[in-house]
């Protein structure tokens, strides 16, 4: 896969807005957007740290809001599509795999696990029934394929939804290599080009990072298994207020060196 299809590069950022996972909580995302829109400047860039699907009460509305806000931001002068980035998070990875679950060797076991991880509201958002999915997984590949095809068709029927999923990237970084943005973490022992599932599933390495990762001054992530709120160290920043788990959504405004200029919660 070409690097440009894996990673996004934020060019010449004056400031960068980083938005935590919202997990289908439309109201909290709208509140963050209202604040960001008032403060947004011409050289600002915007990164969503994954986790916009799943768990919450209005997944489809949340995606509609992401698309609508992108349209409003890009309507401003001197803004370009690459100035707004969506990262792949756990929920986006699970949804992608769900649409191919007929190829899994054990779909009867995989789907219940996915539902435990919170994919149910995304299934419902696109007209599916998780209980019917369980039944189809017992019936075999043909029945599963019909079910996943119906979900995929429903996603395509919502303007911009499938395109947004196609646009998500594994990670993003500023063109001066100051900041690296990921969903859940990194494996400090691997270069960025070799990072795999650790980007959306995380691991112990992120919390133990006591030195710069490669050439980057700071690594910013949006998901923490403990949902402990915003947390910063010399080389890392975590933005997880627990949205989707009973907590709040967060947005941080950073300068290109990683200094925190503003932090808002909804």
Render pLDDT for 40-94 as a digit per residue (tens, 0 to 9): 999 999 999 999 999 999 999 999 999 999 999 999 999 999 999 999 999 999 9
Position 168 confidence tier, pLDDT thresholds 50, 70, 90: very high
What is the residue-averaged pLDDT of the chain?
Answer: 94
Residue 18 has pLDDT above 90, yes or no: yes
What does the pLDDT look like over 195-246, one tens digit per residue?
989 999 987 778 788 889 989 999 999 999 999 899 999 999 999 999 999 9
Q: Is the pLDDT of residue 3 over 80?
A: no
Per DSSP, the residues of 20-67 read ---TT-HHHHHHHHHHHHHH--TTEEEEE-S--SSSSS-HHHHHHHHH
> Residue holding tokens 């309507």?
75
- Report helix angle 59-74 to 26-39, nearest 10: 10
Q: Locate 90 and state its tokens.
A: 């756990």
**What's the pLDDT score for residue 189?**
87
For every residue of 232-265, DSSP letters joined together read: E-SSEEE---BTTTTSB-EEEEE-TT--EEEEEE
Q: What is the DSSP string of 149-198?
A: HHHHHHHHHSTTHHHHHHH-BSEEEETTS-EEEESS---TTS-GGG--TH
- Copy the structure tokens of residue 230: 């915003």
CA 240, 245, 247, 249 torsion-angle sign? positive
- Express each pLDDT in 88-134 by its tens digit: 999 999 999 999 999 999 999 999 999 999 999 999 999 999 999 99
Give the orientation angle of helix 107-116 with respect to helix 130-139, to 10 degrees.
160
pLDDT value, residue 4: 63
Instruction: Write the pLDDT tens digit of every residue in 19-46.
Output: 999 999 999 999 999 999 999 999 999 9
For each of the domains in the chain, give its residue range(s) and CATH number, in order of start: 3-89+168-265 (3.60.21.10), 93-157 (no CATH)
Phi/psi-derived region of residue 111, left when phi > 0, alpha when psi is between -120 and 50, beta in every other case = alpha
Largest Cα span, the chain: 54
With a cut of 70, say whether residue 2 has pLDDT above it.
Answer: no
Averaged pLDDT for residues 186-202:
90
pTM of the model as a whole: 0.95
Model pLDDT, residue 1: 43
Best CA proximity match to 49, nearest among 197, 195, 199, 155? 199
């Amino acid at each position: 896969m070409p690097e440009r299809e894996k990673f996004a590069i934020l060019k010449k950022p004056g400031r960068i807005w980083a938005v935590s996972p919202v997990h289908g909580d439309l109201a909290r995302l709208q509140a963050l957007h209202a604040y960001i829109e008032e403060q947004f400047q011409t050289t600002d860039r915007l990164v969503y740290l994954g986790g916009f699907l799943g768990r919450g009460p209005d997944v489809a509305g949340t995606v509609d809001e992401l698309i609508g806000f992108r349209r409003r931001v890009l309507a401003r002068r001197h803004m370009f599509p690459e100035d707004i980035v969506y990262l792949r998070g756990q929920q986006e990875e699970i949804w992608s795999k769900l649409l191919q679950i007929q190829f899994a060797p054990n779909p009867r076991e995989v789907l219940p696990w996915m539902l435990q991880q919170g994919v149910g509201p995304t299934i419902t958002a696109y007209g599916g029934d998780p209980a019917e999915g369980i039944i189809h997984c017992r019936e075999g590949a043909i029945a599963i394929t019909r079910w996943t095809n119906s979900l995929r068709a429903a996603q395509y029927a919502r303007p911009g939804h499938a395109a947004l999923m196609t646009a998500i990237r594994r990670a993003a970084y500023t063109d001066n290599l100051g900041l690296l943005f990921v969903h859940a973490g990194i494996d400090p022992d691997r270069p960025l080009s070799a990072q795999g599932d650790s980007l959306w599933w995380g691991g112990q390495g992120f919390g133990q990072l006591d030195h710069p990762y490669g050439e980057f001054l700071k690594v910013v992530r949006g998901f923490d298994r403990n949902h402990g709120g915003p947390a910063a160290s010399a080389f890392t920043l975590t933005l997880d207020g627990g949205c989707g788990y009973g907590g709040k959504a967060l947005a941080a405004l950073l300068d290109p060196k990683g200094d925190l200029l503003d932090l808002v919660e909804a």
